[in-house]
Each structure stands twice: as C-alpha cells, then as structure tokens.
Amino acid sequence: MSHTNFSRREFLRRNSLTGLGAVLSPSLLANGKSLLTPETIPQSIKAPSISIAEAPALLGGKPVRAKAWPTWPLWKPETDEKQLLEVIRSGIWSRANVVNEFEAKWAAALGVKRALTVVNGTNAIMAALAQFDIRGGDEVLVPPYTFIGTVAPILMVGAMPVFVDVDPETFQIDPAKIEAKITPRTRAIIPVHILGLPANMTQILPIAKKHNLVVIEDACQAHFAEINHRKVGTLGNAGCFSFQNSKNLAIGEGGAIVSNDDVFMDRCFSYQNYGNPYGLVSGVIGAGTLIQGTKLRLTEYQAAIGLAQLQRLDAQTTLRNENAAYLKSKIKDIPGIVPYKLYDDVTRAAFHLFPFRFKKENFKGLSRDVFVKALTAEGIPCSKGYATLNTMPYLNDTFQTKNYQKMYPKSMLDFNSYIERNRCPQNDRLCNEEAVWLTQNMLLGTRTDMDEIASAIEKVYAHADKLLTQK
C-alpha cells in the first residue's frame, strides 16, 4: 500500500508512546477522528498480534484477545475452606453463630449499626418495604434502569411502582425528575446504585426529607461504593444488598438489610423468622409469634462463604476502581464511545459493571447488536444490558390480581394509561439503543487486559463500514 497519512517513523513514534508497540490506542485519535484506518496503515508495519488492520474477528480475522478473563466467583482453598469445613462437620447448618459473625462484620465494614442477612437481595427489599409499612395503595418511586429484583418487591407488598427517568450520563435515577412524580400516595423511594455506581444521594435525600419519604437504597450491585467516604446503603433509612453469584460479594444466593434504626431492624429480624421475637433463631418453640412474618434465614455455610469473600472485597474494589479509571481514560476519546460519569462527591464506586454508551452515528450507523457481537468476537465479552422494566407484562399481570383490583381504583390499573404515565425516554434510549456493559470480573485483570479492551473497541470502530453487512 503506497498511500499513508504519515510516515512509518511517525507511526512507530506515536505507537511507542502507548507502550504497546503497534497497538492502536486512543492517543492516535485526534480531533475526534481516528488517524488510522486499515487503509492508512502501511502493510509492512502491521502489528504481529493486535492490530486494527487485521480483519474483524466477526468477519473471520484474528481476535484482539484469545486469553480467558478472570473467573468469578473466586475460591481459594488455602484461606477459604477451614471455616466452611468446620461448619459442615459441626452439623449446625441452620442460622446460628456464623451468620451472626457475618452480619456483625458486614455492618462493621459498612460503618452501620446493624445488618441482617436474608435469602437474597429481592427479599431484603421486600422485607424492608414491609417493615416500613409500605403496603397496598402506596406508591414507591423507582428508576426503570435496574434489575427486576428492585421492582418485584414493590409488587410483593402490594404497592405501586412509579418510574422516574434516569440521567443517561450516570445511568442513575435523575433527581431533577423525582418531584414531578410525587403524589399524595407516595410513601417511599428506592434509589438504586445501579451498575455499582452511586446514585445522587446528595440531592435525593433532601427531596425525600421534604416529602417525608422512606428511603430504601438498593445497593445490590454497590458493595463498598462510597459518597463522601460513606458507604452507600448506609445513607437512607435502610440499604439492601445481594450476595448472588455474580455480585461483587458472591455467596451463590444471599442478601442483607442494613440500617441504623433499631426498631426497624428488630422488626426485620422478626419478619425473617416467622414473626417470632427478635433474637430467637431456629429451634425455639413456644415463644409466640408477634408479627406477620415469613422465613428468609441464611444458612451457616452460606455465612462461612461470605466471610471468606469479605476478606477480599476491599482490595478487589480498589483494583476495579483503578482499572475502570484507566480504561475510561483510554476509551473516552473514541468517537461514539461515551463512558459512565460519576457524580462529583463519589469517592469510590463498586463497578459491578463498566458501562458506556454506544453512539451508532459515529460508527457509520452500525447497530449496537452488531457492535456487541463484533467486540465479543474480538475476545471482549460484553452485553447491551437491561430491557425497559416500565413496559413489561408482569405489571399488568399484577394489576389483574384480586388484591390489586381491591386495593386500587380502576383508573390506576389501566395498563395503557399506566405505561403512558410511566414513560421514561432516557431509559428507553439506554436500554434500546446505547448501553453497553463489561462485567466486574474483567476489571480484576491487568493494565494490559484494559489495553486490549480499548484496542478491540478501536478495531471495531475502524472497521465499522465493513461490519455493516452483519445482522
């Protein structure tokens, strides 16, 4: 190839600045325009391994990365198995001292007075709503950009979810849109620290206070995330966590409610054990049942796994923050790639996911589906994330139940007008067009791993026109 935009010497000089040899990096992007396209790279200097000149892996070329990503969850027999084996051999498997120990350590790690474990994050939120007496006829504000496990509990207690649109820059509930959704029925708000990035609690808390709303933080993806050095989940009336297998503290299943409110926490404890008096666990018969309850108890072996995982969480969180900041700096200048933004007072995020927005207009109109496929083919697994929770059939299915028909006026249960009232165009755009996620385990990799992610995105960018043929 005879025509080049700059000399071979210039090319090598620029590349050596990246520390990556002939790997394309964002430093090669000038004025929002890539200096390199496959056509401008002299054949003679194509990189031996990673090069954007290589055909896209989706079209049969060599992928940027062939190596596996760090696996999840982690299990280290040397450090993790002693207590677990003791529990199993003891025969004390139902809730007892190891669960108490895990709860005490989880509360201490967060800097909150009390923690109560339950079977999962969904039931943590359900129990918290119920013990603040959020019930039939009440409205609960919630962002649509979340997992179904945030919204299902609202319906489980008979309340009505009211969706507040998100700020697409941060992916979080938009505080500026909250007050317009408040009605005389509004009793609570569930800010979700979605993707492990803190919601704007600094603005949300005063709004909640002004309108006398209970604040239940959904921190199910946000273990050890912080606002002004205070852990999320401890800032509202209560916080809820998940320890499901994919989460940053993984037990397989499990969840926790945390709060500084003793009366509330006593009730939650009672609730997770059939409504029996606080402090009693299994095997105590004849103590009576005080409140309506259910059974949500964690097991001793789950707590032993949790204690093992907790030891690593702080160091892992630091590593995820370092790698995320580095990766963000490497991809932020690629046209059409808009990484997450953190609010100014965020001192640490959890990065359950690493999100960015994909703008197809910068990729020659390439669809997000093909972008995701192409990046995955390059050895960078990614996904497009959530679908729109504010439009799905589960809502109408609930509205048709006998309980809802009795608790709400017909006008509130008309599904078409519900959908109309709950439109969230920013969320629609994130879900249907723009969001792309990388998972937290990838952020436990090395700097070189992050470089490969950036190179793969650039490679897809450089070949966008060729990929247009793909479905």
Q: Which of 52, 158, 25, 90 is nearest to 451 (CA)?
A: 25
State the minimum distance, in angstroms, from the CB of residue 353 to ligand PLP: 9
Give the CB-side neighbour count of residue 404, counting CA atoms within 13 A.
23
Give the CB-side neighbour count of residue 333, counting CA atoms within 13 A.
15
In the complex with ligand PLP, the residue whose CB is nearer, 197 or 208, is 197
In the complex with ligand PLP, the residue whose CB is nearer, 50 or 216, is 216
For 222, list phi and psi in degrees, rounded to 5.
-125, 35
In the complex with ligand PLP, the residue whose CB is nearer, 146 or 172, is 146
Residue type, 37: T
How many residues are recorded in the chain? 471
State the minimum distance, in angstroms, from the CB of residue 119 to ligand PLP: 8
State the minimum distance, in angstroms, from the CB of residue 233 to ligand PLP: 12
In the complex with ligand PLP, the residue whose CB is nearer, 65 or 384, is 384
In the complex with ligand PLP, the residue whose CB is nearer, 108 or 148, is 148
Angle at which helix 97-110 crosses helix 300-331, to 10 degrees, equals 30
Please give the order of strands across the beta sheet that includes 435-439: 337-339, 353-358, 435-439
State the minimum distance, in angstroms, from the CB of residue 355 to ligand PLP: 13
Tell me whether strands 139-142 and 160-163 are parallel, antiparallel or unpaired: parallel
State the minimum distance, in angstroms, from the CB of residue 437 to ligand PLP: 12
Coil, strand or helix at 438? strand
| Sites of contact with ligand PLP (CB under 6 A) | 120-122, 146-147, 149-150, 192, 194, 218, 220-221, 242, 244, 255
DSSP letter string, 261-276: -HHHHHHHHHHHBTTP
Neighbours of 1 (CB within 10 A): 11
DSSP letter string, 278-347: TT--TT--SS---S---B-PPPHHHHHHHHHHHHHHHHHHHHHHHHHHHHHHHHTTSTTEEE----TTEE
Residue type, 31: N
Q: Which residue is nearest to ligand PLP (CB)?
A: 121
Q: Would you state the structure tokens that stand for residue 75, as one six-digit string?
A: 């299990």
In the complex with ligand PLP, the residue whose CB is nearer, 218 or 378, is 218
In the complex with ligand PLP, the residue whose CB is nearer, 220 or 349, is 220
For 280, list phi and psi in degrees, rounded to 5.
-80, 140
Angle at which helix 77-90 crosses helix 300-331, to 10 degrees, equals 150
In the complex with ligand PLP, the residue whose CB is nearer, 22 or 431, is 431
Q: Which of 445, 376, 453, 446 is nearest to 70 (CA)?
A: 445
State the minimum distance, in angstroms, from the CB of residue 171 to ligand PLP: 11
Spatial CB neighbours of 413, under 8 Å, sequence gap ≥ 6: 399, 400, 404, 405
State the minimum distance, in angstroms, from the CB of residue 180 to ligand PLP: 23
State the minimum distance, in angstroms, from the CB of residue 166 to ligand PLP: 13
State the minimum distance, in angstroms, from the CB of residue 317 to ligand PLP: 16
In the complex with ligand PLP, the residue whose CB is nearer, 182 or 240, is 240
In the complex with ligand PLP, the residue whose CB is nearer, 289 or 383, is 383
In the complex with ligand PLP, the residue whose CB is nearer, 218 or 266, is 218
State the minimum distance, in angstroms, from the CB of residue 50 to ligand PLP: 33
Q: What is the DSSP letter of 383?
A: B
Q: Are 240 and 308 in contact (CB under 8 A)?
A: no
State the minimum distance, in angstroms, from the CB of residue 121 to ligand PLP: 2
